[in-house]
Amino acid sequence: MMRKLCILALVLMGFYQAPVLAQDINVCMQDLSIFAESAKVKNYKAAFEPWMRVRKDCPSINVAIYSYGERILKDYIKNGTPEEQEASKEDLIKLYDEWVENFPKKRNKSVIGDIISKKAQALLDYKLADLKVIYNTFDQAYKQDAASFTNPKLLYNYFKTLYDRYKAGDNEITMELLFNKYEEVSEKFEFESTELAKKLDAILKKEESGTALTSRESRSKRIYNVNSNAIGTFLSNLDAIIAKEATCENLIPLYQRNFEANKTDALWIKRAASRMDSKECSDDPLFVTLVEALHALEPSADSAYYLGLLNDKSGNTEEALKYYEESIALETDNYKKAKILLKIANKFKAAGRKSSARSYANKALGFQPSLGRAYLLIANMYADSANQCGDSQFNKRAVYWLAADMAKKAGQVDASLKRVASRTVESYTGRAPSKTDIFTEGNAGTVIKFDCWINRSVTVPSL
C-alpha cells in the first residue's frame, strides 16, 4: 500500500511540475526569438539581457545561444566600456566551454575541434593566457577533433604559438618537435586544400562543359575560392617562418642523429626525405640512406619518386623516368597523383626538358583541373623560350601572348594564385607586341605558328 502511495505521489508531482517546465520553456523560447531577431540586425545591446536569461535557464534549447552569443560578446569587447570589455573577454572563454558541453555536434558531426580552436584564438587575441596554455588549447582541439579544426588562420596560429615558444627558449620545445609539428600542420593544410579542390573541380568541369552554374553553385564557387586563397596565404606564412630553421645545416645533423631510432618508422622517414628534398639537401648521402630505407620498408609512390630523383641526379635519365612512372602508378589518390606529376614536371623544367615538363604538367591538370601552379609552370617555360621560338623579333615577342594566356588560367582556376597570376599576366602582356607593333606589321588577325618545342599557335589580336 505504501509503495502504491509513493508511486501516486511521484505521478502527481510530475503533473504539477509539467506546466511549470512548459512555462519555463515558453519563456525561454520567447527570449530566444527576441535576442535572435536583435542579433540578426546587430542590435547586440538589445539582445544581451534576453540572451543571458536563455543562456542561464535553458542552456541546451538552441545552438543560437552560442553562435549569436559569440557575436554579442565580441561586440561588447569591441564597443563596450573598459569594464564590459574585460568581463566579456572572460565570459567568451566560458561560452566556448558551455558550447562544447551543450552542442558538441552539428548535423551529427563533431564541432569540438572548431569550438576549442576558437577558444584558443580568443585566449591569444585577448592575451588571457601564456603561450603554453594557448598552444595546449590549440593542441587539445587538434588531438580531440582534427576533422572540424579547419580554419586556416587558427591552424597557422596553432603552429605559430609553438614556434614562438621555441624562439623564446622554452626548453620543452626541441627542434625535432618543431619540425614534426610543422609537417603535421602542413599536411593538414594540404588535406583541406585537396578537399576544397575536389569541390571546386566539380564546378570547373561543369563550366568547361558549357553548362550554366546554378546560383547556389556560383555562391559555392566564391566561397571555395575565398577559402582556397586563405589556405594558400597561411600555408605560405607557415613555410616562411619554418624556412629560417629548416636549413640543410640544421636538418642533416638532426636527421642523422635520429635516424637509427626511427629507421623503421615509414612516416618519419618520408617526412625527413620530403623536407630534405624541398630544402635542396638531397645531394647529401643521408638522403640516399633515407630513400633506400623508405623503399625497403614501404615501397610507395613517395619512395619511387625519390628513387627517380636520385637517378636523375646521377644522370640515369631513363632509370629516373621508370621510377617516376612507377610513383604515379603506385599512387591511387588522383589529387596526390597530380601533385607527384607536378613535382616531376618541375624536375624536368629544371633539367631543361621543357616538352616533358609541359606533358607532365598537363597530366597533373587532368587529375586536378584547379592546380593553377601547373598553368604557371607552362607559362614560365613559354616566356623563357621567347628568344628560341620565332623567326622574327615580332614573332619571338608573340610567344608572350601564349605565356600570358597560361598565367591567366592559373588565376582563374586557383584563387590563391590570383595575385601572382595577375602580376605575371601583366608582365608578359607588357613584353608582347604592342598595338603600334601590330599596326606597323599590318598582321592583325593572322595566326603565328611556333615550330619549336612549344608547337602551338597564337592569333595576333585585332586592332
- Which value, to the nearest 10 degrees, does the dihedral of the CA atoms of residues 169, 170, 172, 176 take? -40
Task: Name 385's Cβ contacts closer than 8 Å, sequence gap at least 6.
Answer: 354, 399, 452, 453, 454
pLDDT in tens, 213-263: 999 999 999 999 999 889 989 999 999 999 989 999 999 999 999 999 999
pLDDT of residue 390: 82
Whether 304 and 294 have beta carbons less than 8 Å apart is answered as no
Is residue 312 within 8 Å of residue 321, measured between CB atoms? no
Q: How far apart are CA 381 and CA 27, in angstroms?
A: 69
Nearest to 414 by CA among 342, 346, 331: 342
What is the structure's pLDDT at 415? 87
**What is the pLDDT, as a whole number, of residue 4?**
41
Q: Residues 396-418: pLDDT tens digits?
A: 999 999 999 999 999 999 988 98
Q: What is the pLDDT of residue 298?
A: 87
Tell me, what's the pLDDT at 189? 95
Residues of the chain predicted below pLDDT 50: 1-20
**Which residue has 614534426 as its cell numbers?**
180
The sign of the CA dihedral 193, 347, 428, 443 is: negative
Residue found by looking up cell 500500500 in the block = 1
